[in-house]
Structure 1
């Protein structure tokens, strides 16, 4: 069931009963990337899976990642009735969740940051600048192969052709302007000095083969957070909840209790 949050600006799917658990999707994917884990989680939680600003039916926000985080804080507050909620972010959704927790300290009770970080290395920043440049000159089609490689290892792509067709189609539905703005924001982002402000428990997770947000980013993130634990997910890349949903659920089960 879909519902509108934040004064009708954020579209979100909702299922299950229990404490609210929000799932924020990555830049190169959409909210369907959580479909494999929602049924299991919905037995214990009220799952809210928003389309981040500018994706799907959610209204875009200008002003960078901080403004996006503010919009999502409004959505979380709206859906959770003002009570602190658990927020899980994957990739770009993790950066949004982290920025939100920094700017709105009372919005979340726990964070799960999967394949995310506090800042990119210079090669990582350059990759975002290049994707923005090529997409501006040639369209999203020109970077679809690059995007899929950042999400999934080649072996996984070869073994799951139908899933990859679906994920390619989802990426090509992304608003090009929203995509480029996100690339620009991530290319300049550095939250390392602000991590100390996040006082809540945080589970940092990363796929061992993640090329988009490599494991050293998660090591740095966990080290900078006051109350963080780190889990490495074997055999996974940037969207472990799609690649290995059982392993992903097992990794977060105890933390969510």
Structure 2
């Protein structure tokens, strides 16, 4: 079912019933990147998958990551109660910023493949992507974007999925992409991690090149109530690459009530 939130400025899909669970997608992906886990999750939760501002049917917002986080806080307030939030990649940064700026809004956080601050090489990667896309268009970043999402061997083994994910990336509004790159290049949320007043599960793919495991280790160490799980063999969007393993990693954190295959993640 399609719904709108935040005064009609956020478009979302809703399925299932129960405790609300909201899924924030990555910058290099879209809401469809949760398609492989939304169905199983909807057997236990009321699953809401919004388009982040400027993506899909959601209106863009000016003002950087803080403004995006504030808009998504409006959307969560429309849902009522205290939803749990899963954010992947850019969606994880949005969810983290939202938790810092809006205490008590969410019940639990799952931050998949993100962090609190990039290294200087990581910052430069976003500056370069913004510059290349401004000069040559998003198509010039096709290879880079897919490499940041998936390891090369997975790409080679899944050509149809790669075509689908590349098409999703190329639908991104360039202005929104540039603004997100600029925001992530300057991001440092480490001083504010102590403000996150809820339990957090930090997940990261072992092979993630975009937001590598050391970022997640630092994030988990800086949060008041967090645990870290490393997903072996996965890259930046593990919910697409290994959905059963991803769900298994979520299960105990979400009261072990998510129907999953019996796959045990590696914990660190």
Instruction: Provide TM-score, normalisation by structure 1.
Output: 0.99
Q: Deviations over 1:138-167 (max 9, x none)?
A: 000000110000000000000000000000
Matches within 5 A, 1:43-192: 43-79=43-79, 81=80, 83-192=81-190
Per-residue CA distance 1:181-209 (angstroms, 9 max, x = gap)? 00000000000000001121000000000
- Corresponding position of 2:258: none
Q: Distance in 1 between matches of 2:133 and 2:224?
A: 38
Separation in structure 1 between the aligned mates of residue 218 and residue 40 of structure 2, nearest angstrom: 30
Query: What is the distance in 2 between the residues matched to 1:28 and 1:189?
Result: 18
Using the TM superposition, give the Cα deviation of residue 249 of structure 1 relative to its aligned residue in structure 2, in angstroms: 0.3
In structure 2, C-alpha distance between the alignment counterparts of 1:176 and 1:62, rounded to whole Å: 14
Distance 1:245 1:188 in 2: 31
Q: Does the 8 A contact of 2:104 with 2:197 survive in 1?
A: no
How much has 1:106 moved relative to structure 2?
1.3
- How many residue pairs are counted as aligned between the two chains? 255
Q: Secondary structure at the match of 1:109?
A: coil
Q: Which sections of structure 1, spanning at least 5 residues, go unmatched?
A: none
- Partner residue of 1:221? 219
**Structure 2 residue 31 is the aligned partner of structure 1 residue 31:** yes
2-side partners of 1:146 and 1:90: how far apart?
A: 18
Instruction: Structure 2 unaligned segments of length 5 or more: list them.
Output: 256-268
Deviations 1:88-113 (A, max 9, x none): 00000000000000000011010000
SS in 2 for 1:108: coil
Taking the aligned partners of 2:64 and 2:39, their CA distance within structure 1 comes to 33
Give the superposed CA RMSD.
0.4
Deviations 1:2-43 (A, max 9, x none): 111000000000000100000000000000000000110000
> Given the alignment, which residue of 239, 249, 252 partners 2:250?
252
SS at match of 1:87: strand
Distance 1:199 1:229 in 2: 14
1:211 Cα deviation (Å)?
A: 0.3
Give the equivalent residue in structure 1 for 2:261.
none
CA distance in 1, matches of 2:90, 2:218: 17
Q: How big is each residue's C-alpha offset from its partner over 1:21-72, in whole Å with a ceiling of 9 and x where there is no partner?
A: 0000000000000000011000000000000000011000000100100000
Counterparts of 1:16 and 1:160, CA distance in 2: 29
Classify the secondary structure of the residue corresponding to 1:28.
coil
CA distance in 1, matches of 2:64, 2:166: 25
CA distance in 1, matches of 2:144, 2:59: 27
Task: Work out the CA distance in 2 between the residues paired with 1:53 and 1:255.
Answer: 28
**1:189 partner SS:** coil
- 2:265 corresponds in structure 1 to none
- Name the SS for the 1:210 alignment partner: coil
Contact 2:65–2:183 (CA under 8 A) maintained in structure 1: yes
Q: Structure 2 length as normaliser, TM-score? A: 0.95
Tell me the distance in 2 between the aligned counterparts of 1:161 and 1:36. 17
